[in-house]
Amino acid sequence: MGQHLSSAFAVGEHSLTWWAVSLLVVALSAKITIGFINGYRTRKLMPPHPPGLPLLGNIFQLPQFQWHRFTEWKAQYGDLFSLNFAGTPVIVVNSIEVANDLYDKRSTIYSDRPPFIMAGEILTGGIFIAFSKYGDLWRKLRRAAHEGFNVRACEDYQPLQEKESARLVHHMLEEPQEWDNHLKRSAASTVLCATYGWIPLGKEGDPLVERINELMHRLVRASLPGAYLVEIFPIMKHLPTWMAKWKREGLEWYRKDSVLFKQFLEDVGKKKEEGTISPCFGLTLIEDEKKYALNRLESAWLAGTMFGAGAETTAAALSVFMLAMTLYPETMRKAQAQIDTVVGRDRMPTFADRDNLALYHEIHRWRPVGPMGLPRRTMKDDWYNGYFIPAGTLVIANVWAMNRDPKHFPDFEEFRPERYLDADGQLVDPIAGTHMQGHVTYGFGRRICIGMNLANQALFIDIASLLWAATIEKAIDADGKPIIPSRTDCVDEGLVVRPVPFECVVKPRGGNVMPLVEQTMH
């Protein structure tokens, strides 16, 4: 009897699978056909677009590093062009001016997200701020994050950032060949201290950091076009878990990550009761829980998000700094001379010395670690410069092209921090539409990067401290010739795009450096 039941179930399961595949094929064909018919009517009114395949459009014309293809198309189709992703309309924004017009001046239309079903609903329970729809929950999360990381709030983290920068320098000079790992550890340590009040990480780091980084990579992979069929057929999210392995595994990851983030926040609460917690974002969330109208799970995920998004992006930006200093030694020497004039050689830099160091602006512009932001979605029909942009259109910001616009940066390929300074060496007024940054790497409008202020502080003090303490040079090969790292090759690590690994030499600037560094650490 059991054998017959088993056989019957196997046949039924096979039939169910066959019918499911058949229905998906029919639904896909219908979706593409309807999208093609509707798209044909509106595409004539939309911005210019490259030719594509029948029905499928341009979806198979994009390489791994899509921003390069978008920049090529910008030269042909202009600052705003459209695409067709298998019936879904897409526009690509390629200039700061257009981005300012759409994302900032029309933010009520261009602040929504597409329905990231796997990444935004299943893997993160609908409470991950980066994927949240533009609505009440997003506003509550945004308000809490803004108050925790605005300019004034981030000033509380400056003392810990000064000590962490000294610790970074110490590790870099002790083990210069491990410089990239030191950057990653230091960035993670800073954000953990600011978010949860942790003590600084040792050189070995912490396995929990890798766990959170894996979560962020998992979310980025899940948000890529075509990663999961449920993004094409939203009805699939209602399938029972026994039929959908992807859903079953995604919900299990959400459960595990929720436990981890709630534990982090509970630890902050325990330290608060013991009186052993330093000012941190997690403490703010707990103390003002009623004010923000967030439950404990939402607060836990918000804090975890701030760490996950902040650590890797800061480390990647610092790796761009190392590349720039290796390739542009004269620029490094000029910056060192400026720091020596302001700081001297008897102490390390502090935030009181924060004046006109344009290097970190140029780092973000020259090689943005996020060359494309997460796509937005229009909330209603819109017209712009005579072009129709229908509701539900995906909107992609080509940050790479904007930061290299020859109208604003004529020699965009060169790393030249002085572009941000006037004849007297003072910072010039930033480009309009860049939120006082002089670049657009932090994003636009109401969804501009929440951790921008903390990241800018970290970059300033880390760069100033490294330049004060060390000289960065090209490595030498076995034949005595300098090893020149690639200016352009990069690796996509899911959350960030950073330079490919390269060798360089880090040397102390004088014999009194290490004692002063050790003194600053403690």
Q: Which of 208, 321, 323 is nearest to 263 (CA)?
A: 208
Strand partners, 376: 395
Q: Tell me if 449 is assigned to a ligand binding site.
A: yes
Q: Which of 366, 515, 492 is nearest to 439 (CA)?
A: 366
What's the CA gap between 364 and 161, in Å, rounded?
A: 20
Find the radius of gyration of the CA atoms of the chain: 25
What's the CA gap between 281 and 451, in Å, rounded?
A: 11
Q: Is the dihedral of CA 73, 74, 77, 83 positive or negative?
A: positive
Which DSSP state fits 325? H
Burial track 313-341 (b if 16+ CB lie within 10 A, e otherwise): bbbbbbbbbbbbbbbbeebbeebbebbee
* Amino acid of residue 437: Q
Helix (H) or strand (E) holding 471: strand 470-476
CB 309 within 8 A of CB 317: no
What's the CA gap between 385 and 146, in Å, rounded?
A: 33
Q: Which of 447, 468, 475 is nearest to 516 (CA)?
A: 468
Task: Pull the structure tokens for residue 300.
Answer: 């836990």
Q: Which of 292, 288, 215, 295 is nearest to 262 (CA)?
A: 295
Q: Which DSSP string corresponds to 1-48? A: -HHHHHHHHHHHHHHHHHHHHHHHHHHHHHHHHHHHHHHHHHHTTSPP
Taking each helix axis from N to C end, the angle separating 207-223 and 245-274, rounded to the nearest 10 degrees, works out to 140
Task: Pull the structure tokens for residue 114.
Answer: 């597409």
CB 90 within 8 A of CB 396: yes
Q: Which residues are annotated as a binding site?
A: 449
Q: Which residues are annotated as a binding site for heme?
A: 449
